[in-house]
Amino acid sequence: MAITDWPAAERPREKLLERGAAALTDAELLAIFLRTGLPGITAVDLARTLLNDYGSLAALLAADQASFCVGKGLGSAKFAQLQAVLEMGRRYLLDELRTGPALSSPGDARSFVLAQLRSLPHEVFACIWLDSQHRVLLYEPLFTGTIDGAAVYPREVVRRALAHNAAAVILAHNHPSGVAEPSDADRRITDRLTHSLNAIDVRILDHLVVGAGVVVSFAERGWLREVGGA
């Protein structure tokens, strides 16, 4: 049976308009993105097949072009469309950070860094630079590495802090393994950056480590006071 023959309340598009996007399942959301199914297969059934093949919606969204395009009903055009949607979401979150109230808790930046870093196949170390009122100046990826890690240079971080006239910073990096638990190396580099940035009166508000849908906050664990000597 075609989706157009379903009761209106069960059609993904109509359901979204009536109840909001949060009311839809992963398969229903993906079906709206796909728009059409295949001969004899509705868009919802195709979406369910794709979610089963890739393992999850997150895995499908994180797939590179080659992996994505082998999926049934997918291709380069759909990949380009998806990347545009994902990038719009990231830019929306950044605009929310920039134009919203000053950051006041670790949770304020959590969804943003998760959207930016969770699906990357390599490690990226980034900074969210803040002014004296803890308003966002800029999100800036600084160092990129292999799947095992990224080399972080305190001198370069200090140089960028001065260039942006920042008063504070939130550090963030991802673990491509999906395990967000900070390593000893993560704590050591945070210690070094704390001492380097203290010298120019720039305060580290947090260090967020991104895994597979999980973000660990140094501030929430009380580690910044330990490494900062406060």
Query: What's the domain count of the chain?
Result: 2
Six-digit token string for 148: 């095992």
Task: Examine residue 86 and state whether it is found in any structural domain, yes or no.
Answer: no
β-pairing verdict for 168-174 and 124-130: antiparallel
* pLDDT at residue number 228: 44
Same domain, 207 and 109: yes
92 domain-assigned: no
Structural domain includes residue 176? yes
* 47 and 116 fall within a common domain: no
Check pLDDT > 90 for residue 206.
yes
Pair 172, 114: CB distance under 8 Å:
no
Give residue-wise pLDDT tens across range 138-180. 999 999 987 667 789 999 999 999 999 999 999 999 999 889 9
- State the pLDDT at residue 227: 47
Say which residue, 25 or 91, is predicted with more confidence. 25
pLDDT value at residue 143: 94
Nearest one of 207, 202, 203 to 223, comparing CA atoms: 207
28-37 average pLDDT score: 90
Element (H, E) at 185: helix 184-198
As a dihedral over the C-alpha atoms of residue 183, residue 187, residue 189, residue 191, rounded to 10 degrees, the angle is -170
Highest mean pLDDT among 85-94, 107-116, 191-200, 219-228: 191-200
Residue 30: inside a domain: yes
Evaluate if pTM is beyond 0.85.
no
Residue 65 in domain? yes
Q: Answer whether residue 83 is part of any domain.
A: no
Give the count of beta carbons closer than 10 Å to the beta carbon of residue 78.
Answer: 16
Residue 64 domain-assigned (yes or no): yes
- Judged against a pLDDT cut of 50, whether residue 230 lies above it is answered with no
Same domain, 51 and 161: no
In a domain, 179, yes or no: yes
Pairwise CA distance, residues 217 & 223, whole Å: 9
The predicted structure's pLDDT at residue 1: 61
Which pLDDT score, from 0 to 100, does residue 146 have? 73
Give 43-54 pLDDT, tens digit per residue. Answer: 999 999 999 999
Q: Are residues 142 and 186 in the same domain?
A: yes
- The boundaries of the domain holding residue 142 are 103-228
Token pair in block for residue 76: 């380069």
* Inter-residue contact 174 to 115 (CB < 8 Å): no
